[in-house]
Structure 1
Amino acid sequence: MVWKSSLVLGAVLSIAACPSSAQQRAEFDACTAEANGVSSKMLDCGKVEIGKWDARLNAAYQRLLHGSADEKRAQLQQEQRAWLKHHLSETHRLASDPDNGSVAFLDSQSFELDDLVQRTLQLEKRLTGKP
């Protein structure tokens, strides 16, 4: 039970890093609290949250892509492909860890959410022009 709480806490802390995400965080917190430590319900909460962050990441990426000159656009595309390759590889690796049993899916999802949040915040930061 402690490990489940730690995984959820890690994802929540990642989400908390962005003040504009307070409503998303509140919804995720409420969902995970209602899950009462039931893995399948926690995975459902994570799936919804991942969907929101994925849409946000895609919007930021598209805005950056369309606002970039050819050379910068090619560099951004290459960077995004490299990030996505690592993201998918690590997500699949964690999900298929034979030593983790059913926890593997929670580990995988926790990584996936944290990685999406971090990448989204990086791209959004570029949009604002802040270093």
Structure 2
Amino acid sequence: MPCRPLRCLPLLLAGVLAPALADDAPAYTRCMDAAGGVTSSMLDCIAAELGAQDVRLNRSYRAAMGTLGADQQTRLRDAQRLWIQYRDANCTLLGSLTGGSIDRINGAACLLGMTRERADELAQIGEGW
């Protein structure tokens, strides 16, 4: 029996949000729990955490750049620019697959997850890999 969209929504949300919730700050987890599946509230939670992760990403990028020689700095700068293009294109795709309101959550959760992962990578580089 095929899964109807409303019946499948909790499964879709679990699949999309599980990676985004994996290493989150307790405040983000509490916010998502309190959102109770309300799209606008969930988007507010994701946006707040994305802002925090973006600050972390920029801080980690600056730290990484400070540990690298000139050639490596150029490579990291180029890689970071390409990564931003990829992240944005990938999350735009994931945020457009169903045509429903879940797309907004999918796209935002994608941005959050990819930004967090990239901040982790850059932090490792900044710590000397």
Residue of structure 2 equivalent to 1:6? 15
Residues 81-107 of structure 1: per-residue CA shift (max 9 Å, x gap): 11011011112222233x331111111
Runs of 4+ in 1 over 6 A off after TM superposition: none
1:91 equivalenced with 2:91 (yes/no): yes
Q: Percent identity?
A: 24
CA offset at residue 4 of structure 1?
A: 2.2
TM-score by length of 2: 0.85
1:68 equivalenced with 2:68 (yes/no): yes
SS in 2 for 1:101: coil
CA offset at residue 128 of structure 1?
A: 1.5
Residues paired across the two proteins, number: 120
After TM superposition, list the pairs within 5 Å mapping 1:44-63 onto structure 2: 44-63=44-63
SS in 1 for 2:37: coil
d(CA) in 1 for partners of 2:28 and 2:61? 23
Residue of structure 1 equivalent to 2:4? none
d(CA) in 2 for partners of 1:5 and 1:42? 13
Amino acid of the structure 2 residue aligned with 1:85: Q
Contact 1:60 1:124 in 2 (8 A): yes
Residue of structure 2 equivalent to 1:36? 36
d(CA) in 2 for partners of 1:87 and 1:6? 19
RMSD: 1.5
1:26 equivalenced with 2:26 (yes/no): yes
CA offset at residue 60 of structure 1?
A: 0.8
Contact 1:94 1:105 in 2 (8 A): no
**Larger Rg over CA atoms:** 2
CA offset at residue 26 of structure 1?
A: 0.5
* Runs of 5+ consecutive residues of structure 1 not aligned to the other structure: 16-23
* Runs of 5+ consecutive residues of structure 2 not aligned to the other structure: 1-8
